Amino acid sequence: MRVVIAEDNALLREGMVLLLTSAGHEVVAVAGSGPEIMPAVLDHRPDIAVLDVRMPPGFRDEGLRAALEARQRMPGLPVLMLSQYVEESYAGELLAGGAGGVGYLLKDRVGRVDEFLDALERVAAGGTALDPEVVTELLTRRRDSPLDSLTPREHEVLTLMAEGHDNATIARTLVVTERAVHKHIGNVFQKLALPPSDSGHRRVLAVLTYLAHTPHT
């Protein structure tokens, strides 16, 4: 696939270029600052953009802003955001559009090559990839919410759903049948007042959008 990378750390940027090239992908452009992102994306129209959340010159949310703008100007453009820390507001804003093809990973995940490449391919295919630590933060920061009504097993299923896994993977991970997973998912949607769905990433986005916009107490 054709990839645009935006990362100000030259060592990490070149490392990702080498990693992706070795995996058979084509890095069509790289950006080292916020203002370079949109021209790179619009000129090359990649299959996916891998963007650091914080970029020069302000090191605030330049990458996120570019991702949101790029998805407005190129609807459906898959974007995989990278961040040094769990920044809940950024994860929520990225997911708020309710469309697929989004990912949010901590930079440490890049070093786990298989996980990073799996997330990249999942997002490029229109799915979702959320770092397990991000999911944990989203789940544990909520209090006095419908999440409190979930059983421990339903919490496990929801967490794996949020990471972007399908029913078969969840079943293997939890060592249960797919039928049991389907039942747990139905219970989760019912308790969260979300319509049941088997439409892959859409169900994940529905849950994460709900979580991202649940008020803090």
pTM (predicted TM-score): 0.71
**pLDDT score at 76:** 87
- Rounded Cα distance, 185 and 171, in Å: 11
Distance separating alpha carbons of residues 19 and 31, to the nearest angstrom: 17
- Hey, is 132 helix, strand or coil? helix
CA pair distance 192, 175, nearest whole angstrom: 24
**Predicted pLDDT at 142:** 53
* Cα(60)–Cα(66) distance, integer angstroms: 12
Residue 141 · residue 183 · CB < 8 Å: no
- Angle, alpha carbons 85-120-113 (nearest 5°): 75
Please identify every stretch of the chain with a pLDDT value under 50, giving residue numbers as ranges: 198, 201, 213-217
Catalogue all structural domains in the chain, each as residue range(s) with its CATH number: 2-131 (3.40.50.2300), 142-212 (1.10.10.10)
Structure tokens at 216: 């803090």
Query: Distance from CA of residue 32 to its chain's centroid?
Result: 22
